Structures are given as C-alpha cells and as structure tokens.
Amino acid sequence: MHKSGVSFQNARTFLKCVDSLCAGPGWTCETIDVEGDTVGEDGALKWETLELWWRDPVECVEELIGNLMF
C-alpha cells in the first residue's frame, strides 16, 4: 500500500489490474443526435452527436446470478 492509499504504483500497473478482471457482458455503442436548448446564429436550436454506451441488462443480471462470488 502506498501513501495515496491505492494498491498500484502507476497507471500501467492499474490498467494491468483492470485487464485481469472478468470481462462480463459486452458493451454496445450507438451514436445519437440530440437537440439542445441553445439557439445558433441561424435561429435554430443546435444539435450534438453523442456516443451512448450500454450493456444488455438481461445479460448483466444473468452474469450476476451466475457469478459464484456474488
């Protein structure tokens, strides 16, 4: 344990620890267009493209139920 209270020395050892964890259900990424509340120079509301990351909730529950440590 280090002074900071974490059990890793640097970002590399932290990421190595993260990579050793079980992966679980896969992630899905979709891009969505969202209308904002700010008006642009042309008088129309501005739009923004966002990334929406999600996991299938049924797969997550199955993972939890099937996990012996849980």
Q: Spell out the domain ranges in the chain.
A: 24-66
pLDDT confidence tier of residue 1, bands split at 50, 70 and 90: very low
Over the range 35-69, which residues count as b (16 or more CB within 10 Å of their CB) and which as e? eeeeeeeeeeeeeeeeeeeeeeeeeeeebeeeeee
User: At residue 3, does pLDDT exceed 80?
Assistant: no
pTM assigned to the model: 0.55
